[in-house]
Amino acid sequence: MKKIVVLEPLAVPDDLLHQLVDEKLGGQADLVLYDQRAQSDEEMIERAKDAEIVVIANQPMSEKVARSLEKIELLAVAFTGFDHIPVDVFKERGVTVCNASGYSNEAVTDLVFGMVITLLRNIRECDQAVRQGGTKDGLVGQELSALTFGVIGAGAIGQQVIKVANAFGCRVLAFNRSKKEVPNCEFVDLDTLLKESDVVSIHLPSNADTKGFIGADELAKMKDTAILINCARGPIVDIDALAKALKDQSIAGAAVDVFYTEPPLAADNPLFDTPNTLLTPHVAFATDEAFVKRAHIVFGNIAAFLAGKPENVVV
């Protein structure tokens, strides 16, 4: 019988996880759950040292931990990204790593369009105007259907964003680093997308190739009436360049859910004093429905691995 250790809470009832062990693994696993994250490498190692299968969400794992887990056969990442995991170490050791790709496609897309509409229709300002006895003066907004919506990264989440942008009646442009076939959008080069889009939404993974992918040069190519949305990964956008573009009003606004570090952010974050900026605390993936989907994917990955047909494999 395999030992499965879930290193951090997965935001679903424990009963559901035990049910998934029964349904997907035939009850043939010893499941150990923790209701809080480990506070040190040593604590993480102690929790997982005897486990063949380890489940982690978005808590960072150090190389020290990765090299210390002597029995591990599978690391099941309950998250879409895996840049917080020392993947190369596990690859070197022959340990399979899989992620939970797909669980948050709808959740992230929902927040993207919530952000877009909040900025385009001045929803925060409208609320304050009513509370302060004001009117709609100065608060006339824009309709999405009149705009060009640019999507950088046409993976699963990017494609869901494209689908919804089409439903709103937008002209949709997309840029992807590899060739994709996605209906109802026009694939263009990055410069064209930046120059022609009224909304630019980023949906790239975080890796060495995408760090600083959107910097001062890219922001300078955007319309001064355009808004930037980042619900992907913080390091993709040069935060200082973005802050400067907002203060200089070379772009009209931004909404950001991801940062260089996880919230809480330092008090001197450069986006805190920028105009027309909406910030959320890395919450795009976080819905009740997404967490249930994630649990099913994670334990489906474990079942497939034990059956010799692993799915969603990173390495």
Q: Is 124 a catalytic residue?
A: no
Q: Degrees (nearest 5) of the Cα angle 19, 20, 26?
A: 90
3-state secondary structure of 293: helix
Per annotation, catalytic residue among 233, 289, 294, 296: 233
Sheet (strand 171-175) strand order = 186-187, 171-175, 148-152, 199-202, 227-230, 253-256, 277-279
The residue annotated as part of the active site, out of 282, 289, 294, 296, is 282
Alpha-carbon distance of 182 to 184, in angstroms, equals 7
Residue written as tokens 């573009």?
245
H-type helices in the chain, by residue range? Answer: 14-25, 41-48, 63-68, 87-93, 105-120, 123-131, 156-167, 190-196, 216-220, 239-247, 288-306
Q: How far apart are CA 168 and CA 146, in angstroms?
A: 9
CA torsion through residues 223, 228, 234, 239, sign: positive
Q: Which helix (H) or strand (E) segment is 79 a member of?
A: none
CB count within 10 Å of CB 109 equals: 23
37 is catalytic: no
- Least Cα distance to 107 among 292, 303, 315 occurs for 292
Q: Which amino acid is at 122?
A: N
Place of tokens 């890796």: 207
Of 43, 125, 262, 311, which is the active-site residue?
Answer: 262
End-to-end CA distance of the chain: 24
User: Among this protein's residues, is 93 annotated catalytic?
Assistant: no
Other residues' Cβ atoms within 10 Å of the Cβ of residue 62: 16
The tokens describing 119, both together, are 């900025």
Query: What are the residue numbers of the active site?
Result: 233, 262, 282
